Structures are given as structure tokens and as C-alpha cells.
Amino acid sequence: YFYISEALKLQRIYGGAALFLVLDDGLEPSEPVRPELVRGIADLVPLSRREIVPHDYNYLNYRKPEQYRISTSKSVSTENDLNYLLVHNTRVLRFDGLFLPWRQRLSNEGWGQSYLQPFFEVWKRYRGATDGMSTMLNEMDLFVHKIPGLANKITSGKESALKARLEANSLARSLYGGMALDSEEDVSFASRSLSGAQEIFDRLTDDLVAAADMPKTLLFGTSPSGGLSESGKYEDKSWAASVERYQTHSLRQPMNQFFQLIMTMPDGPTKGQMPEEWSVYFPPYYSESDSDKAE
């Protein structure tokens, strides 16, 4: 379970990942698996698409090329200095990313798109809005100091005296929280209105939720507005449907390949005898109550 979880994380981040099956079968990794020779699975190695690349593929077989190339920063063999290892596709459990057209897939080394890609631009807009909102809150109250004849003092070359006057005011505010003013001077705070900002921010939040393909309560870690009402149940059911679609898209095919190997191994649970009927089953993500089941 741990290795599959790691591979799925890499798949969602990078747009593709794989589990390399290190088999004890006496064959070279570039040779096809012969289940009758497999004595056991020595290891499962999660690899992102940056570390495992289809060696030779075309439009017809890019989902299942004959061989993959595992590239590393160090030599993978003591017999030569090659920094890559060719492995047969029967030794690789592939977890592809989001669908990409052929031309875009070519530039992505045969893999799909990262799950973060459609989310990233929306996240930047949301993050920019939160930063802007924070700046506006800090500058809501604008300090205004009205000084009679200010323009004349500046044009007459009395900037140094004016600067000394403002510095004295700043010192007074820091010492006793007030200001010493002439009778003709005035100090006030100009308040800024944030009306309409909340509505815009809510629109950006909805955009972020749609891009994440997750319920708002799960994305932000908040409780449903309706408590334990139908509102919360709907979001749970919607998220369960998304999880089940993801399982079908990303897990079913590699899990079929894995369990088929397990059941055809001589020392496997079925002693090499493949059952006539079998399937990979995912338990329902959403648990219905007894009353819901009865209805």
C-alpha cells in the first residue's frame, strides 16, 4: 500500500509515475516477465516520470511501450558506466496523468499532464487576491495631516523646517500617543470602503474549488454550512464519486497487471492457477446509512 500511495502522489504532481517491479526470476530487466520463473517480488520502486521514460513509443503504443528507460544521476550497473536501465513494460506498473493530445504528449516524453497544472493558474489568482486583501486591510485607515500653507512652504524652500516638524510629530506619537498641533492644523483618518470585495473573493474561491475538483469543505478544512444536513451529505457523495472515478482511471489497470502476476507465480496464493473469474474491487468510499440503503 505504501509504494502505491507514493506512486500516486508522484503521478498527480508530475503527470505520470510508475512502480518498477524488482523480480527474483533470473532474467534481465529488459526481458519480458515469465511468471513461471518468478520466485518472488524483491522490491517495488516508485519512480516519477522524470526518472522513468518510455524508451521507444509512437501514437499507437504510447500508453504501453515495449520498454522503459530508468534514468538516474549515477551508474545503475557495476559492469558499465551507463546512467540508465532498460526495463520491459511487464515489469512496470504505469500510473498515467491527465489526458493530453498527441502533440502535447510528445513534448511531455509520452506522459500525461500533472493534476496541478489546471489548478496552478487559478491558485495564483486566488493567492494574489488574498495578498491584495491583506494589503488593503493594512491601509484601510489613511492618516491625513492638514497643514495650512503647505504648498507655499515647499515652494519657498522651507523643506528642512517642514521635515523637522513632521519628525517632531512622529516622535510625539511614539512617546505619548498624541500630536502637538497649531490651532490651524488638523489631523484625521480617511477610511476606505471594501464593499464588493467579499463578493469578488467568493467568486475566486469558487473558481479554486472547481479547479481542485474537491468539495470546499475538504479543500479548506471547514465544516459544511448545513452541519449534518443534506448539504454535507451531498458534498460527501460528490467527493466519493470523484475518488471512484480516480480509482477507475488511475488504479484499475495497474492493479489488474499486478494481481495477474501474483496469481500466475508458482508460489503465489493460487499456486500459478489463474481463477476463471476475478476482478479488482474497490470498496465504496461513501458509507450509506441503513435508512439510505433501505430507500
Smallest Cα–Cα separation from 284: which of 230, 240, 239?
240
Q: What CA–CA distance (Å, rounded) separates 149 from 177?
A: 26
- Confidence (pTM): 0.72
DSSP, collapsed to helix, strand or coil, labels residue 105 as helix
Alpha carbons 287 and 293: distance in angstroms, whole number: 10
Within 10 Å of residue 16's Cβ, how many Cβ atoms?
Answer: 30
Tens of pLDDT along the chain (295 residues) come to 899 999 999 999 999 999 999 999 999 999 999 999 999 999 999 999 999 999 888 888 888 899 999 986 655 555 555 568 899 999 999 999 999 998 888 888 899 999 999 999 999 999 988 888 777 777 666 677 787 877 777 778 777 877 887 888 788 777 776 777 777 778 777 666 677 778 888 888 899 999 988 888 888 887 766 555 555 677 888 888 889 999 988 999 999 999 999 999 998 899 889 999 999 999 888 777 778 778 8
CB 47 within 8 A of CB 18: yes
CA distance 115 to 14: 8
110: left (phi over 0), alpha (psi -120 to 50) or beta: left
- Alpha carbon distance 141, 2 (integer Å): 53
